[in-house]
Amino acid sequence: MSAANRGPRRLAATVLPPTLTFLGICLVLEALARFGGLPAYIVPAPSAVIETLIDRLPRILVNSWYTTYVTVVGFAIAVVVGVLLAVGIVSWRPFDRAVSPLLVVAQVIPKVAIAPILIVYLGYGLEPRIVLAFLIAFFPVVVNTVLGLRSVDPKLLDLLQSLRATRSQVLFKVRLPNSLPYAVSGAKIAITLALIGTVVGEFTAGDFGLGVLIQVTSAQLDTATTFAALIALSLIGLITYWGVGALGGLIARMQGGRVL
């Protein structure tokens, strides 16, 4: 068959099963809500959630904007700082020895536990949330980029040495380009973590954001709005993840179709 024929068919094969499963779950929930005798604050009918989503759209959009903003900024800082740390770790032994163990410590501390301190330091604005998103997201970027910087054929390094290549030539011509696909896969993990960090931050201290909306509405037993916020949150998660994936695809194309 022609490729044009195969494309939509493959798309259908990947999109249809999860869509049908999701619709099935919605149907069960709808039935439970209507005929199960469960109160709406426990299981809101999917139809009611959609209705709420439309009714409260401005409020949900405003909060979504804050959540997306904090997530993306935290993620961007995580990528920049993560790559810089990785370069430092790979290029300078003492830096590696001094910093790497601390990175692991920073990673194992549950980020929720740091949130209150961040508020003490940075107040109730966006800053503590951005820092939290960054803190939770940067680790996979560092680990993956270090791997990519190090996984250069030692024979190629010999060859460069035989040409008297400088350390910065090795870094910019070989190590960094080699690490790009690794950094991208680290960034894909990081973007999902940044969203988690953002919501944790919003739970702890926030004026706007979907995390705030979820806390307020669930306290009021306005479960339908909570669910509507959850839908918005999943959409943000998907869109930002796809965005990073698309960026990774662009980088792979720039590297001549190279993938890990």
Size of the site for other proteins (CB under 8 A): 21
Binding residue for other proteins, selected from 151, 220, 234, 255, defined by CB under 8 A = 255
Least distance (Å) from other proteins to the CB of residue 160?
7
Applying CB under 8 A, the span of 79-87, 126-134, 196-204, 252-260 interacting with other proteins comes to: 252-260
Least distance (Å) from other proteins to the CB of residue 83?
17
How wide is the angle at C-alpha 212 spanned by C-alphas 209 and 217, nearest 5°?
125
Least distance (Å) from other proteins to the CB of residue 169?
6
* Size of the chain, expressed as the number of residues it contains: 260
Cβ closer to other proteins: 80 or 260? 260
Distance CA 149, CA 61 (A): 40
Tokens at residue 4, please? 């044009």
Least distance (Å) from other proteins to the CB of residue 174?
7
Are 181 and 148 in contact by the 8 Å Cβ rule? The answer is yes
Q: How far is residue 105 from each of residues 77, 95, 144, 157, 194, measured CA to CA in Å? A: 20, 16, 17, 32, 18
Of 117-156, binders to other proteins (CB under 8 A) are: 153, 155-156
253 binds other proteins (CB under 8 A): no
Of 148-207, binders to other proteins (CB under 8 A) are: 153, 155-156, 158-165, 169, 173-174, 177-178, 180
257 binds other proteins (CB under 8 A): yes
Least distance (Å) from other proteins to the CB of residue 155?
5
Cβ closer to other proteins: 182 or 208? 182
Least distance (Å) from other proteins to the CB of residue 251?
10
Applying CB under 8 A, the span of 17-25, 120-128, 219-227, 249-257 interacting with other proteins comes to: 249-257
94 binds other proteins (CB under 8 A): no
CA atoms within 13 A on the CB side of 176: 13
- Contacts to other proteins by CB under 8 A: 153, 155-156, 158-165, 169, 173-174, 177-178, 180, 255-258
